[in-house]
Structures are given as structure tokens and as C-alpha cells.
Amino acid sequence: MQTRLEKTNVLIGLLLILFGVVAFIGYFITITVWGWVGILFVSGLVALAVMWPQRTNWAYFIPSYILWAIALMVALITLRILRHEAIATYVLASIALPFLVGYLRNQALWGLLIPAYTLLAVGVMVGLIGVRWLTHLLIPAYVMFAIAIPFGVVYWRDRSNWWALIPSGILGVIGIAFTLATPAARLIVPVLLVLAGGWIIVRQLTRGRI
């Protein structure tokens, strides 16, 4: 434990020195945006080099990940690939990714899926609002469906958790009600009917073969 603490302190010290030197240089010359991207990238490499001996613990890669994620965001904004609401979506997805990786490495830590799902759901919503795919009543409909899905997953994973169907069903019905109250319902309803009919036919044919 002491070794890990020492390496963490060394990393903090090195990053402070690095940014101190950069701030000193910035007093005399103007550092361009791409210069900051390079500084952040190099800082990530420094963090990786210091923490590499502790690579068995993925959490020690988080400092490098944060620095590189910020560097990539600055680069994408400069290139005008990320604009407006897409920036918020990128930030939320970047925060969610470590939680998702943590769960994939150890699925016993299922609690990590809660912040990952929440951040991704909000990030997707912000992005869809930005491109105007979600407008007016479709926004609360999305929220209702986003909250209902985890309860549905709880029941799907363990059918003894029948109680999860209650909030999932209520929220799903409210979401459908919001959806039906929008002009988009004229397109969504026929699509849902076609999908439902196709699912019934496929299921029946599959049962007939079995």
C-alpha cells in the first residue's frame, strides 16, 4: 500500500512541476491550442509511465485516461468536430467509460453500471436534443423509457424480481402516452405495429419448428 501511495505522490508532484513549468513558459510566450493538446498528451504519458508498475489495478490508469480524454476533446473542438451539445455528450460519455470498463473487468461490481448508464442516458439525450431528434413531448418520453429500462433488466435477469415490472410498466406506459401525444406518433405507431407483428410471426414459426 505504501508503494502505491508513494507512486501516487510522485505522479502528483511530477504533474504539478510540469504544469508549473508550462505556466511559467506561458507567461513569456503564447501557447497555442495544439500546444495544450500536446502538453496534455505528454502529461498522460508521464502518468502512464509512473503508474505502469501498478498496471494490475486498472484504476491507476485513470489519471492518464482523464488527461488524454481532455486532450482529445480540445482537439475535436478545435477541428470543429465537436460542437454545441455534442461537447456535453462527449464529456458525459467519457466519465461513464471508466465505470463501464470496471464492470466489464469484474462483473461482480454491477453497481458500476448505475453511474455508467445514467451518464450515458443523459449524454445521449443531450445529443439527441442538440440535433433536434428529441423535441417537446419526446423529451419526457425519453426520460420515462430511460428510467423504465433498468427495472426491465432487473426482471429479465431474475424473474423472481417480479416487482420490477411494476415501475417498469408504469414508466413505460407514461412514456408511450407522451410519445402518442406527439406528431411523430404517426410514424412511430405503424413501425411499432410492424415490429410487433413480425416478432409474433417469428416466434410462432420458431415454436413450430421446435
Q: Quick check: 75 pLDDT over 90?
A: yes
For residue 32, give the C-alpha cell.
497555442
Query: What is the Cα–Cα distance from 93 to 127, expressed in whole angstroms?
Result: 11
Q: In whole angstroms, how far apart are CA 115 and each of 45, 112, 124?
A: 27, 6, 14
- Residue that has been written with the C-alpha cell 418520453 in this structure: 141
DSSP 137: T
- Asked if the model's pLDDT at residue 2 lies above 50, the reply is no
Q: What is the pLDDT of residues 90-135, one digit of tens each?
A: 999 999 998 888 888 888 888 888 889 999 999 999 998 888 888 8
State the CB neighbour count (10 A cutoff) for residue 32.
10
Q: Note whether 88 and 126 are within 8 A (CB).
A: yes
pTM of the predicted model as reported, rounded to 2 decimal places: 0.71
Identity at 121, one-letter amino acid code? A
Cβ(168)–Cβ(151) under 8 Å? yes
Q: Residue 76: its pLDDT value, please? A: 92
Distances, alpha carbon 163 to alpha carbons 94, 139, 156, 169, in Å: 33, 26, 12, 10
Helix then strand then coil, % of the chain, to nearest 5: 85, 0, 15
Is pLDDT at 7 greater than 80 in this prediction? no
Q: Measuring CA to CA, which residue among 85, 181, 189, 186 is closest to residue 137?
A: 181
Reported as a pLDDT band with limits 50, 70 and 90, residue 74 is very high
